[in-house]
């Protein structure tokens, strides 16, 4: 069995126990840390690597993959280790069950948690390359890490499979020459917004985005660029964070928006914050039919959605329900069939088995975008 060492820049300075998965998947798993479901992206890259080795006549070899993934409560409702580590063994089982893909090849994986910190993520990428001698990279799902890591991978001419990273910058193939992604770049969001505005003959907008969610900033930039190319004016652009809702500073932003646009595009940290914003709009008299709100929040996670976003615990559900009658939520078509549903159901089953031994709480949802390659 292959033995590997822990990357020096482990995020918490500890040295967790190492375990090996069942052959032919030779891997290093760190105790109580769960790998992200995006590992299924390896099916494409592993196949490419294996075919390349076979076609060149090379002997069977071990391919070592470096994973850059987040963990912890901030990511558990989207793309954390805790909600998809078992996709690794599922993917490897599928690959090794097909004799046309592998001829004696084995695979190992080491991973680090950058948690969307570009400084730490860049350092971890370097360590994976030179300390772990990986053959390819998977991750990071956060664009803040994927951008610098992708540039390094391009310089080294090494495969890099980004996952949920959606910064429009990553679409530049002259810079990110070795990168592949499974989710479309956010410039597509700008194009979608243009289509909606053209459909309703809208020509003036305001954009409200969350400072606490990087994807909102990327989406706002993409929309601004597309609007400029299509003669649609942005009368006001506002960036808010959670502290401003608590301190009441949202009032000033709402008044600016009210005076300068009737169509408001919103991207919030989560649906709770979206509900807060819509209550502010209600309190400022923006729900009388003269204003419309275009929500982007459901584009970025199939976990965030709910049929009753106006429901809260502040006794204002009736007001919020009225406010939500002015909201047009943009969504993507839900991907669901018998095979996908079976796969999602298998994730928690496999998570409870070695080497993960992690029981997911009842009702935990799996972020599908990270498990569909």
Residue-wise pLDDT for 18-39, tens only, equals 333 322 323 333 222 333 333 3
Grade residue 367 by pLDDT with cuts at 50, 70 and 90: low
| pLDDT tens readout for residues 132-158 | 999 989 878 888 899 999 999 999 999
Q: Does 27 share its domain with 47?
A: yes
CATH of the domain at 77: 3.40.50.2300
- Is residue 328's pLDDT more than 70? yes
Per-residue model confidence (pLDDT) at position 368: 62
Q: How many domains does the chain have?
A: 2
Per-residue model confidence (pLDDT) at position 49: 54
- Is residue 275's pLDDT more than 80? yes
Hey, which residues does 263 pair with through a beta bridge? 205, 292
C-alpha dihedral sign at 264, 267, 268, 272: positive
Q: Does 73 share its domain with 158?
A: yes
Q: What is residue 191's three-state secondary structure?
A: helix
Per-residue model confidence (pLDDT) at position 207: 97
Write down the number of H helices and E strands in the chain: 11, 12
- Residue 257, both tokens: 């928006």
Q: Does 47 share its domain with 142?
A: yes
Q: What is residue 45's three-state secondary structure?
A: helix
**Model-level pTM greater than 0.75?**
no
- 119 inside domain: yes
Q: Does 41 share its domain with 78?
A: yes
Per DSSP bridges, beta strands 327-329 and 263-267 are unpaired
Per-residue model confidence (pLDDT) at position 335: 66
- 7 inside domain: no
List phi, psi (to 5°) of 361. Answer: -60, 150
Are 149 and 120 spatial neighbours (Cβ–Cβ below 8 Å)? no
Q: Report the distance separating Cα 219 and Cα 297, nearest Å.
A: 10
- 115 inside domain: yes
Q: Does 28 share its domain with 143?
A: yes
For residue 123, what are the domain limits?
18-184+338-370
Q: Does 315 share its domain with 349?
A: no
Q: Does 117 share its domain with 200?
A: no
- 12 inside domain: no
Grade residue 68 by pLDDT with cuts at 50, 70 and 90: confident
Q: Does 134 share its domain with 71?
A: yes
- Residue 110, both tokens: 């080491």
**Residue (of 269, 245, 325) closest to 293 by Cα position:** 325
- 221 inside domain: yes
Per-residue model confidence (pLDDT) at position 56: 47
| pLDDT tens readout for residues 180-194 | 887 766 778 899 999
- Is residue 195's pLDDT more than 70? yes
Q: Report the distance separating Cα 36 and Cα 97, nearest Å.
A: 22
- 86 inside domain: yes
Q: Does 50 share its domain with 154?
A: yes
Q: Does 344 share its domain with 292?
A: no
List phi, psi (to 5°) of 35. Answer: -75, 155
Q: Does 347 share its domain with 299?
A: no
**16-20, 199-203, 240-244, 334-338: which has the highest mean pLDDT?**
199-203
Q: Does 169 share its domain with 195?
A: no
- 5 inside domain: no
């Amino acid at each position: 069995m292959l033995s590997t060492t822990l990357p020096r820049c482990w995020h918490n300075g500890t040295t967790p126990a190492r375990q090996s998965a069942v052959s032919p998947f030779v891997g290093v798993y760190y105790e109580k840390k769960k790998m992200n479901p995006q590992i299924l992206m390896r099916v494409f890259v592993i196949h490419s690597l294996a075919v390349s080795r076979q076609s060149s006549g090379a002997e069977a070899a071990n391919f070592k993959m470096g994973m850059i993934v987040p963990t912890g409560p901030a990511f558990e409702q989207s793309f954390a280790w805790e909600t998809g580590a078992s996709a690794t063994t599922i993917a490897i089982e599928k690959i090794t069950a097909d004799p046309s893909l592998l001829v004696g090849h084995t695979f190992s994986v080491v991973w680090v948690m950058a948690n969307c910190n570009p400084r730490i993520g860049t350092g971890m990428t370097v360590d994976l390359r030179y300390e772990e001698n990986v053959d390819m990279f998977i991750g990071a799902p956060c664009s803040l890490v994927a951008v610098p890591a992708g540039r390094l991978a391009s310089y080294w001419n090494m495969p890099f499979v980004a996952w949920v990273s959606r910064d429009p910058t990553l679409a530049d193939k002259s810079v990110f020459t070795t990168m592949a992604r499974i989710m479309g770049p956010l410039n597509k969001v700008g194009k979608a917004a243009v289509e909606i505005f053209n459909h309703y003959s809208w020509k003036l907008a305001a954009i409200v985005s969350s400072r606490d969610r990087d994807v909102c900033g990327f989406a706002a930039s993409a929309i601004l660029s597309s609007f400029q190319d299509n003669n649609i004016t942005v009368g006001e652009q506002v960036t808010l964070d959670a502290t401003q809702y608590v301190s009441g500073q949202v009032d000033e932003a709402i008044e600016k928006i009210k005076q300068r646009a009737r169509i408001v595009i919103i991207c919030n940290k989560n649906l709770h914050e979206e509900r807060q914003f819509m209550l502010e709009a209600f309190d400022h008299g923006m729900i009388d039919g003269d204003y419309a709100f275009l929500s982007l929040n459901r584009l970025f996670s199939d976990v965030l959605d709910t049929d009753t976003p106006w429901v809260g615990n502040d006794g204002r559900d009736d007001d919020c329900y009225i406010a939500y009658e002015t909201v047009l939520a943009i969504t993507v078509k839900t991907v669901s069939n018998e095979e996908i549903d079976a796969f999602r159901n298998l994730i928690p089953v496999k998570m409870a088995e070695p080497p993960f031994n992690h029981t997911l709480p009842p009702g935990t949802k799996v972020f599908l975008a990270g498990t569909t390659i």
